[in-house]
Structures are given as structure tokens and as C-alpha cells.
Amino acid sequence: MKIVACNSNRPLAEAVAAACGIALTNASVRRFADLEVFVEIHENVRGEDVFVIQSTSYPANDNLMELLITLDALKRGSARRITAVIPYFGYARQDRKSGPRTPISAKLVANLITAAGANRVLTMDLHAAQIQGFFDIPVDNLFVAPLYSRDIQERYAGRELMIVSPDVGGVVRARAIAARLGVDLAIIDKRRPRAGVSEVMNVIGEVEGRDCLLVDDIVDSGGTLCNGAEALLKNGARSVGVYVTHGVFSGGAVARIGAAPVEMMTVTDSIQATEAVRVSRNIRQLTIAPLLAEAMKRISEESSVSSLFN
């Protein structure tokens, strides 16, 4: 078993390797003068089970090209099996035709990863579960629900909780955590007049006097979650916290969340935190390194990955 780290989230890759008890494979991922990506693996990988860790976060296209070229380098180095470990799968929100003459970019990226040489994919909390079907190779989609459920039990012990989905599309994700905690579920009825803009229409569920926790997979501009927090407080919620898997934080998202009535936003380290995120008063990170490491070991040993979520 070998682990190769690209450049999108080196600290996470190092933490995963430490949890697996092995050193990162000696490799270089660098740029030529014209910014072309060049990858060189400095160790023998022939016949090895190799895992490439790379989130396709900002800058998404650069990180995607690093991943594809690394996969190609390993394939040409005769690795026995190559697993693309993509903690945050970019382009996942383009999983359907949103209008006439628009692409399904998630399917295109799946094709690229497969053509580049990946034999399987390990990812976390895909925006839409059906993206697994875009691949013609095995996909293991890990869930952050067990990690977040334990953290909520420790952090919010003794409080009257309600899990809230920020939109109808996230109900399954929110219900999974609510069921683990044995608490009620509420839903925010939201409409999106255009990309990047959301409006709260109604809050479905009795949130008055409750400590509400919004649960989502991605925080991008932060508008949906900030608007949801304000709507919950207007409907009588005692406090609002947020649990999100992937902290994209584009534009002025960190400042927007800092000014919002959010007690604390918890995100994973699937995307490397910027300095603004690290110093924010109400954003904290939980690491997914032990979870990724355990899943990678089970894949390498050909044992069950799904039992991680029992």
C-alpha cells in the first residue's frame, strides 16, 4: 500500500498517512514555466496498491489536472491498483442538465478520472448520491454522519436539539443524523431564483425554544445557511449551529458567516482551511483523516467499508 499526495490538501494527506502508519510516497507535483503540470513518482510502484489523495477544490481545474496526471503517471508506472481518494469531489453540483444546452460536468469529470487510470474512487458526502452511477468503476462514498453525531452528542449534551435541513434536497442527509441522535427534524422551504442566490420561503417544523443545527454537505457563499439561521431565529429557535462537510467558502463567505447569528459552524478538513477560516470566531474544523485512513486500509485488505457506518 502506497499513498501519493498532490497539492490541494497536503496536511490532510500527511495526517491520513500517519493514521495508516506509513510515509507518503516520494513524488513531486510541480509546474513548468507556462504552468503546465508535471508529475514524477520517485519510488517504484510496480504491482503496488496506490492511493492518490486530492480534493478538486479551488483552484478546481488546476487540482483536477494534478489528479489526472498523477493517475496517468501511476498507470504508466505499472501500479497494480490505483484508488483516487477525493475527499471533496468538485463539479458535483453539475449533476444534471439545469437548462437547455447545459453540460453534465460531473459525468465528464467521472469519465476523465476513469480514462486517466483510476481503478476505483473513494470520496466523501457526494452532493448527489447518483453521481456514483456516473462512474464505470467502483465508488465508495463515505458519510460524515457518524463523526458529526458523536461531536454533537459531546458538544450539545443536555440541550433540546432539532436537526434542520436547509432545503428539501438535503432531507436524507439531515434525517440520517437526526435518527442517530433520536431528535426531531425540520425543513426549510427554500427557492433559488438564480445560481448563488437563495430565499427562504417557510420553516416546516416546530422550532420554537429549540437549539437548531443546520446540516448540509457544502457551504459555498454561505447565503443559504445564513438566511436559514435568521429564519429559524425569527421562528423562535433558541440558538442555531451549523454542521457542513465541505467548506468551500468562496467570495466573502467567511465574513458573511462571521456576521451571521450562527453560534458555531463545524466543517471537516476535506478542503484545506484558509487563514480567514482558521482565525474565524465561529468556524471550527474536525478532521476526517482517521475515517479516510480506516477506509483505505479496508480497501487495501479487501474488507468491508460499509461496516464503518454501522
C-beta separation of 93 from 130 below 8 A:
no
Is the peptide bond prior to 59 cis by the omega test (within 30 degrees of 0)? yes
49-53/2-5 β-pairing = parallel
pLDDT tens digits, one per residue of 82-100: 999 999 999 999 999 988 9
How large is the average pLDDT for residues 289-298? 96
pLDDT tens digits, one per residue of 245-263: 999 999 899 999 999 999 9
pLDDT of residue 310: 67
| Ranges 44-53, 180-189, 196-205, 265-274: which has the least confidence | 196-205
* 8-state DSSP, 78: T
pLDDT tens digits, one per residue of 19-66: 999 999 999 999 999 999 999 999 999 999 999 999 999 999 999 999
Q: How confident is the model at residue 224 (pLDDT cuts 50, 70, 90)?
A: confident
**Residue type at position 217:** D
pLDDT of residue 197: 61
Share of the chain above pLDDT 90, in %: 88
Distance, in Å, from the CA atom of 246 to the CA atom of 168, rounded to the nearest integer, reads 19
Point out which residues pair with 124 in neighbouring strands.
142
One-character DSSP codes across 206-250: --TT-EEEEEEEEESSSHHHHHHHHHHHHTT-SEEEEEEEEE---
Q: Is 132 exposed, middle or buried (0-12, 13-18, 19+ CB in 10 A)?
A: middle
What residue ranges of the chain are covered by domains with CATH 3.40.50.2020? 2-142+290-309, 145-287
Does CATH place domain 2-142+290-309 in 3.30.70.2740? no
pLDDT of residue 98: 85
pLDDT of residue 196: 57
pLDDT of residue 273: 94
* 8-state DSSP, 114: H
- CATH class of residue range 145-287: alpha beta
pLDDT tens digits, one per residue of 160-176: 999 999 988 889 999 99
* SS3 category, 284: strand
How large is the average pLDDT for residues 192-214? 80
pLDDT of residue 195: 63
Q: Report the interhelical angle of 105-116 vs 60-76 (nearest 10°).
A: 30
Whether 190 sits among the annotated catalytic residues: the reply is yes
Distance, in Å, from the CA atom of 145 to the CA atom of 169, rounded to the nearest integer, reads 16
pLDDT of residue 33: 95
Q: What is the pTM of this model?
A: 0.93
Q: Write down the residue that cell numbers 478532521 correspond to.
A: 287
CA dihedral of residues 197, 202, 208, 210 (deg, nearest 10):
-50
How large is the average pLDDT for residues 260-273? 96
**CA angle in degrees (0–180, nearest 5) for 161-162-167:** 150
Over 80: is that where the pLDDT of 8 sits? yes
Q: How confident is the model at residue 200 (pLDDT cuts 50, 70, 90)?
A: low
pLDDT of residue 245: 96
C-beta separation of 51 from 1 below 8 A:
yes
Residue 120 belongs to what H/E stretch?
Answer: strand 120-124
Give the burial string for 152-183 (b: 16+ CB within 10 Å, else e): beeebeeeebbbbbbbeebeebbbbbbebbeb
CA dihedral of residues 230, 235, 238, 244 (deg, nearest 10):
-50
pLDDT tens digits, one per residue of 181-193: 999 999 998 776 6
37-41/27-31 β-pairing = antiparallel
Distance, in Å, from the CA atom of 258 to the CA atom of 252, rounded to the nearest integer, reads 10
pLDDT tens digits, one per residue of 105-153: 999 999 999 999 999 999 999 998 899 999 999 999 999 999 999 999 9
- Catalytic one among 2, 75, 190, 297? 190
**Assigned C-alpha cell, 29:** 507535483
